[in-house]
């Protein structure tokens, strides 16, 4: 199992100016960095690859799905832009020798409405069509795509692991896996360990987040139950801490981070990975 840290813990948007984080992340005890991609133009890709290699870090790509990157939008231009963004994330993964792109690929974060059944069906059909098309691109590139359920305050489409599985079955492409985030699952699932077992062999990515997005191990998430469930399904994929810096205005609004969640972001990451390693190894 690889223990990872998402760049959102420290910065938004991530770019070349932030590459100095990578040796710090390695020194804290992480094996992998999850790069949150908001603006491709800010990232010197060859230099990022070299910096990752120099620090012995693996990499995963985390998608950032704002309102203009919604493959289920009723606006065809927005759907096209969302599809292009996912394809570009796949291309970035390939350039960095990564095999994973993950996140709420199916819709824009913050899209929460009560709409008619007909509208829901149209949006789902657009989503499924686009996921099938980008799935072929990902498969050709050797990249897995993770479908992340979000809580009800951030999406009205996929809130539960069983809904993610149903979408994957409808898309019917082997490149798709389930991405569980314990912050969202803590709100939506009756039991996070049970949800892990339901995902089973389809579980391809995992965000290990405390109930308040603070340091893992300091809240009320059932980490022992999670450990046991992961062992039951023989999960051996990435195990990534995702939190957000309160200093980034757009992220603060999107994730409702209004206060510091730890004495420092470094402490959140360092203490969190220490707790998770002791739990799982």
How far from each other are the two terminal CA atoms of the chain, in whole angstroms? 9
> What percent of the chain is modeled with pLDDT above 70?
98
pTM for this entry: 0.97
Query: 61 with 91: CB under 8 angstroms?
Result: no
Q: Which two tokens stand for residue 26?
A: 């390695």
Report all structural domains of the chain as residue ranges with CATH numbers, in order of start.
2-280 (3.20.20.150)
Supply φ then ψ for residue 59, to 5 degrees: -145, 145
Reported as a single tens digit per residue, the pLDDT across 61-83 is 999 999 999 999 999 999 999 99
Query: 196 with 165: CB under 8 angstroms?
Result: no
**pLDDT reported for residue 255:** 80
- Given a cut of 70, is residue 253 above it in pLDDT? no
For the segment 216-223, the average pLDDT, to the nearest whole number, is 98
Query: Which of these, 80, 87, 204, lies nearest to 140 by C-alpha position?
Result: 87
Query: Which of these, 134, 128, 136, lies nearest to 107 by C-alpha position?
Result: 128
pLDDT band at 44 (very low <50, low <70, confident <90, very high): very high
Q: Which two tokens stand for residue 49?
A: 């690859």
Residues annotated as catalytic (active site), given as ranges: 148, 242
**What is the Cα–Cα distance from 132 to 10, expressed in whole angstroms?**
33
Q: How many CB atoms neighbour CB 16 within 10 A?
A: 13
Reported as a single tens digit per residue, the pLDDT across 96-107 is 999 999 999 999
pLDDT band at 254 (very low <50, low <70, confident <90, very high): confident
**What is the Cα–Cα distance from 64 to 251, expressed in whole angstroms?**
10
**What is the Cα–Cα distance from 239 to 102, expressed in whole angstroms?**
13
Q: Which two tokens stand for residue 42?
A: 């800010």
């Amino acid at each position: 199992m690889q223990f990872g840290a998402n760049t959102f813990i420290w910065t938004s948007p991530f770019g070349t100016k932030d590459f100095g984080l990578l040796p710090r992340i390695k020194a804290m005890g992480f094996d992998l960095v999850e790069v949150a991609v908001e603006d491709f133009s800010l990232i010197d890709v060859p230099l990022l690859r070299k910096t990752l290699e120099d620090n012995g870090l693996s990499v995963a790509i985390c998608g950032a799905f704002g309102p203009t990157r919604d493959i289920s939008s009723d606006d065809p231009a927005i759907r096209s832009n969302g599809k292009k963004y996912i394809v570009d994330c796949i291309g970035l993964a390939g350039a960095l020798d990564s095999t994973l792109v993950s996140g709420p690929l199916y819709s824009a974060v913050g899209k929460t409405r009560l709409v008619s059944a007909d509208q829901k069906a149209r949006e789902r059909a657009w989503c499924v069509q686009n996921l099938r098309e980008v799935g072929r691109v990902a498969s050709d590139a050797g990249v897995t795509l993770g479908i992340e359920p979000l809580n009800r305050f951030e999406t009205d489409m996929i809130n539960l692991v069983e809904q993610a599985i149903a979408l994957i079955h409808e898309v019917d492409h082997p490149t798709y896996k389930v991405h569980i985030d314990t912050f969202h699952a803590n709100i939506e699932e009756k039991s996070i360990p049970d949800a892990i077992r339901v995902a089973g062999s389809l579980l391809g990515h995992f965000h290990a987040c405390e109930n308040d997005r603070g340091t893992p191990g300091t809240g009320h998430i059932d980490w022992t139950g999670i450990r046991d469930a992961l062992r039951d399904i023989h999960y051996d994929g990435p195990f990534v801490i995702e939190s957000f810096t309160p200093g980034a205005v757009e992220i603060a609004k999107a994730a409702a981070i209004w206060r510091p969640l730890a004495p420092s972001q470094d402490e959140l990451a360092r203490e969190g990975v220490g707790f998770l390693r002791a739990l799982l190894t």
